[in-house]
Amino acid sequence: MQTAPMPPKRRLPLYWLGVVPFFLFVTLFLILPTMRIVVGAFQTPDGTFTFNNILGLFKPSILAAYWISIKISLASAVLGCAIGFAMAAAVVLGGLPRFIRGPLLTFSGVASNFAGVPLAFAFLATLGPVGLITVFLRSELGIDLRVLGFNLLSFWGLTLTYLFFQIPLMVLIITPALDGLKREWREAASILGATGFQYWRMVAFPILFPSLLGTLALLFANAFGAVATAIALTGSSLNIVPILLFAQIRGDVLGDPHLGYALAFGMIVVTGVANALYIWLRTRSERWLK
């Protein structure tokens, strides 16, 4: 009697090995630390469950820190969107020489990831109290930025610093959306008698609006989660969430690491909502640009 053949063994395709480092990296440096923060936000120092850490977020000083962080993030996101959109539109649709596009996108790719201590040092060396431009304006032109009210270690100083990576990120994200505007739409609007302003108001802007809102949400989350730059630049002179979080985790005299976990958990919630909004709006905009 002939026996039935053995079923072939299922093997995991070898090409999955290529993404093993990615999943390992995400698990070790994103998922596990995030879960540790979430669990720690609902624990006491002895490991019991509590809501007191979350309730501690409603203290006036912590609410004020969140509010300042939200305002800085929103200001840098709005300005970054406006300036970055103007730069991208000038390159893609403004008739500038094509050789400008390559260096601009290359610089944007580098600058959008330039943050932390190097960025803080660069701005202190340029616009700090004894920075290059500050000293030049005071000694050569008689313009004292301090007298005019500008202080790098302030709300607008930190916002200006954030713009160094917010504007390039906006350029990188909105450039493909501008490339997706079809020439036929502009020609059809012109044939129907529409002016350039009417084309942008009634055709281009409604199509780009989801992309603009989504990018605004992404830039907001990007600025809200920037920790190293804020700490290196302002130290303890500005009461924002990253600096307050650093003080709690570090364990100063009044430090409470589990309250720090709650602060980080609040930041995760805010940035998570902003990123979810970006993904949803990005999906809607891609329907028009296909």
Q: pLDDT tens for residues 194-229? A: 888 888 888 888 888 888 988 999 899 999 988 778
Whether 285 maps to a domain, the answer reads: yes
Long-range own/partner contacts, residues 86-94 (CB < 8 A, 24 or more apart): 87/167, 87/171, 88/170, 88/171, 88/174, 88/175, 88/178, 89/178, 91/175, 92/175, 92/178, 92/179, 93/178, 93/181
User: In the prediction, which pLDDT does 24 show?
Assistant: 92
Cα gap 27→29, rounded to integer Å? 6
User: In the prediction, which pLDDT does 11 show?
Assistant: 65
- Residue 42: count other Cβ atoms within 10 Å of its Cβ: 17
Global pTM reads 0.84
User: In the prediction, which pLDDT does 252 show?
Assistant: 54
User: In the prediction, which pLDDT does 107 show?
Assistant: 93
Whether 257 maps to a domain, the answer reads: yes
User: In the prediction, which pLDDT does 208 show?
Assistant: 87
Q: State what percent of residues in the chain have pLDDT above 70.
A: 91
Whether 33 maps to a domain, the answer reads: no
Per-residue model confidence as pLDDT tens digits over 160-200: 999 999 999 999 999 988 888 888 888 888 888 888 888 88
User: In the prediction, which pLDDT does 99 show?
Assistant: 86
Whether 51 maps to a domain, the answer reads: no
- Going from the C-alpha of 73 to that of each of 3, 92, 167, 222, the distances in angstroms are 71, 27, 13, 8
State how many domains the chain has.
1
User: In the prediction, which pLDDT does 216 show?
Assistant: 92
User: In the prediction, which pLDDT does 255 show?
Assistant: 62
Whether 179 maps to a domain, the answer reads: yes
Contact call for residues 88 and 173 (beta carbons, < 8 A): no
User: In the prediction, which pLDDT does 238 show?
Assistant: 78
Whether 201 maps to a domain, the answer reads: yes
Mark the ranges of the chain whose per-residue pLDDT is less than 70.
Answer: 1-13, 250-255, 286-290
User: In the prediction, which pLDDT does 9 show?
Assistant: 62
Whether 18 maps to a domain, the answer reads: no
Phi, psi of 134 (to 5 degrees): -60, -45
Amino acid (one-letter) located at 42: F
Whether 239 maps to a domain, the answer reads: yes
**Domain interval for residue 269:** 61-289
Q: State what percent of residues in the chain have pLDDT above 90.
A: 23
User: In the prediction, which pLDDT does 175 show?
Assistant: 92
Rounded to a whole number of angstroms, the distance between the first and last alpha carbons of the chain is 61
Strand-pairing partners, residue 43, are 49
Phi, psi of 221 (to 5 degrees): -65, -35
Q: What is the CATH number of the domain that holds 159?
A: 1.10.3720.10
